[in-house]
C-alpha cells in the first residue's frame, strides 16, 4: 500500500471516531495482509481472540501485543522482540507467522490456528483436547465469519 493510500485509510478511520490505536491497527492489517496474502478478516479475528485489540497485552507465557507473538517467534520472522509492542510490527510478525503456517499446512486453516495457538502438528492431526485450543479455534472461526460479513449456516469458512 502506498503512503498516500495508507494516510487516506488512517484519515477515514480517524474520522469515524475510532481511537488512534484503532486507526493504526486497521491500517497495519490492510498493509500487511496484502503483502502476505492473509485475509484481513482472519487477522482481525486472531487479534480479537488473542488480545481483544489491546496492543499492551502480555500473556503469562510472555506473548506480546495484539497478536500475542512470542519473542522467539518474532526473531524467526525478522522482528526484534522489543518491536513487538508497536502495533504495526506486532501485526507484521503475527501475519508473517500465519503466512508461513498457511503455506506449511497447504491452507488448512484449522491446522494453522492450532499451530498458532498451541504448537505445530501433523497435517490432519486431531485438534488437541486441552480445552483452550478447541475453544480458540472455534472463536477465531466465528470472528472470521463475522469480519467477513458472510455467516455460514454450515459452519464452513468462506475465504
**CA distance readout (Å), 12 to 16, 36, 106:** 6, 24, 36
What digits encode the pLDDT tens for the residues 116-151? 998 777 777 777 777 889 999 999 999 999 999 865
**Which residue from 72, 132, 77 is spatially nearest to 103, judged by alpha carbons?**
77
> What pLDDT digit, counting tens, does each position of 48-85 carry?
999 999 999 999 999 999 999 999 999 999 999 999 99
Options 50, 83, 132, 156, the catalytic residue: 50
- Which of 3.40.50.880, 3.20.20.140, 1.10.530.10, 3.30.70.141 would CATH assign to domain 3-148? 1.10.530.10
Residues whose CB is less than 8 angstroms from the CB of residue 132 and which lie 6 or more positions away in sequence, other chains included: 117, 118
Give catalytic status of residue 83 as yes or no. no
Domain ranges across the chain = 3-148
Amino acid at each position: 500500500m502506498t503512503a498516500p493510500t495508507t494516510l487516506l485509510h488512517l484519515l477515514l478511520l480517524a474520522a469515524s471516531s475510532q481511537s488512534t490505536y484503532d486507526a493504526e491497527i486497521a491500517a497495519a492489517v490492510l498493509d500487511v495482509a496484502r503483502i502476505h496474502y492473509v485475509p484481513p478478516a482472519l487477522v482481525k479475528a486472531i487479534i480479537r481472540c488473542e488480545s481483544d485489540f489491546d496492543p499492551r497485552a502480555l500473556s503469562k507465557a510472555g506473548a506480546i501485543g495484539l497478536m500475542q507473538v512470542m519473542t522467539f517467534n518474532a526473531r524467526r520472522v525478522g522482528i526484534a522482540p522489543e518491536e513487538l509492542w508497536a502495533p504495526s510490527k506486532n501485526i507484521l510478525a503475527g501475519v508473517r507467522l500465519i503466512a508461513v503456517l498457511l503455506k506449511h499446512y497447504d491452507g488448512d486453516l484449522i491446522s494453522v490456528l492450532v499451530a498458532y495457538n498451541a504448537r505445530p502438528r501433523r497435517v490432519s492431526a486431531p485438534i488437541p483436547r486441552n480445552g483452550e485450543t478447541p475453544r480458540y479455534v472455534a472463536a477465531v472461526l466465528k470472528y472470521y465469519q463475522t469480519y467477513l460479513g458472510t455467516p455460514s449456516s454450515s459452519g464452513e469458512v468462506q475465504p
